[in-house]
Each structure stands twice: as structure tokens, then as C-alpha cells.
Structure 1
């Protein structure tokens, strides 16, 4: 009953469920950099289920190593990118930091020699909230393309000439 009350209270705190991923192609570094912003309360619910630790406290300093280890696994499990030939990019988890009521998660893809098309799959928090929206902004070649991803439509293809 406490969990149900907590979820209800959290839904009142921010009545919409959204994450934002900013993806940037750094042509000079031949790298794709991803910064994802996720509400802490939603992420804590996801990490509790993902890790199996129902008492996980995302803000407890003494549990940060456990949180970060599970956060890395979670992020790499819930986000994937493929090139124009359908080859999966190797995502490197860089780390995370807390800023007010959100967690910033950082991922990088190295050795991206050319960029014509990228498929992005993002299912962050879909297992927690049925109305979860994952906004994705992809910046490359002085162009910004954006998409809203949902549980029923959790991937998008970005293309450049």
C-alpha cells in the first residue's frame, strides 16, 4: 500500500512522465555524445525494479556505487543506436550526476567515421509508466532533428545527406 501511495504522490509531483536525450555528433572528434535527463523519482522506481532492490535510495551517498553500476546497466539496456547498415554502435557509459530533481546520464560512441543515418531506440522508463515520453534531439551538421518516443513507438531514424 505504501508503494501505491508513493507512486500516486509522485504522479502529482510531476503529472507528466518525460525524459530528454540530447544527442550530438562531434564531427571533429568522430564521436556521438548522449546526455539524458531523467526525473529522479521515476528513475529510482525503475532502478529498484531493475536491480531487485526495493529499498534502493538513489540519493543515499553510501549506495552511489550500487546505483551507478545499475544505472549503467539500465541505460545500456534501454538505449541502442544503429548505423545506416544496421550495425549496432558500441555505447560507452561515461557516468551520471544529480542536478536538483533530475539525473544526467552520459554515454559516448567513439570512432564514428561518417554519419548518414542513425536509428535510435529509447525505452527508458517504459516499464514504469505507460504514458512515458522520451524526447530525443539529435544535433549534427548544424541541423537539429527531434522526435517523441512512446512505448508503442520507441524508435526513430534520423537521416542526413
Structure 2
């Protein structure tokens, strides 16, 4: 009887460990043009642990976010990284970002960015390479919304850039 239990355990262990765990690497960036304020408001949502790993590797130091170990230097590295990995051209012109701040939500971090002084959006070119240097399968989903239009892009390592046109 013990032999059958052992055989059953070995069989189950082999079956269950033969499946490989696969983690899905994704960020979501919501962009909204608010005509009344002549501003583009951006919210980028990332998994905190993935971001910590990327920042630690890139800057060669342990980075801690959303914990008692978080420092102002960690947040500064997060802002620096985020703004270096996100490039937006509005109507063919580069724009200046204002990093508004961030907040944590369970296992994710949301970063808030604003672009001001935008009278109209006829086109938007977006390059989002956030976490692509760390994770080969990273996908960055972009949702853009104006008062009358909604468009989306899925960017990855092979296609990190997209163009949205509005009429």
C-alpha cells in the first residue's frame, strides 16, 4: 500500500511540475486629452515588483517601492526611468512632461503625468519602452481618449512605437 501511495505521489509531482509557470508582463497607459484644460493627462500602471527589479538592475542598487524601505532617491529613480522610457510627440512635436506623482494600489503603482499647453490633438506618436529592457515579453497597452474618439495600441519589443491620427 505504501508503494502505491509513493508511486501516486511521484506521478502527481511529475505531472504538476512539468507545467512551467508563465508570468504575463504588461503595463497599461491611459491617455486623455482634456480640451477645456488644454492638457493631456496620462496614467501609467505597472506591477510594483517588476518595476523594482528593472530599477535595481538598471541603476545597480536595491530599489524599494511601496514599503517602509522606500526612499526619496528610489522615487526619483522611478520618475527618471519612467520619463526616459516614454516618448510622446503631439502633432509631430516633442512635448514637455510634468510628473505629478504616484500612488500604490495593492501590487501595482500608478504614475500620473501631465502635458499642458495643447490646443488640439491631430496626431500622437507614442514610444513606450517601459520594462522592455528587463522583460523580453513585455507589452505596453496604450488607451487614448478624447471627447469624441477612443483608440488603443499594443506595443512590444519588436514594435515599441505607434502613431494615432485624429481628424
Settle same-fold status: TM greater than 0.5. Answer: yes
Conservation of the 8 A alpha-carbon contact between 1:43 and 1:125:
yes
Max radius of gyration: which structure? Answer: 2
| Structure 1 gaps, min length 5 | 1-10
3-state secondary structure, aligned to 1:61 = coil
Conservation of the 8 A alpha-carbon contact between 2:65 and 2:75:
no
Task: Please report how far the alpha carbon of residue 63 of structure 1 lies from its aligned counterpart in structure 2 after TM superposition.
Answer: 2.6
Counterpart mapping for 1:1-161 below 5 A: 12=21, 15-53=23-61, 55-84=62-91, 86-161=92-167
Write out the 4+ residue segments of structure 1 that deviate beyond 4 Å after TM superposition: none
Report the number of matched residues. 148
Conservation of the 8 A alpha-carbon contact between 1:68 and 1:95:
no
- CA deviation digits over 1:108-143, x for unaligned, max 9? 000001110010110000011000000000001321
3-state secondary structure, aligned to 1:126 = coil
| Structure 2 gaps, min length 5 | 1-19
Normalised TM-score (structure 2): 0.84
What is the rounded CA distance, in whole Å, between the counterparts of 1:65 and 1:34 in structure 2?
Answer: 22
Task: Please report how far the alpha carbon of residue 77 of structure 1 lies from its aligned counterpart in structure 2 after TM superposition.
Answer: 0.1
CA RMSD of aligned residues (A): 1.5
Task: Please report how far the alpha carbon of residue 64 of structure 1 lies from its aligned counterpart in structure 2 after TM superposition.
Answer: 3.2
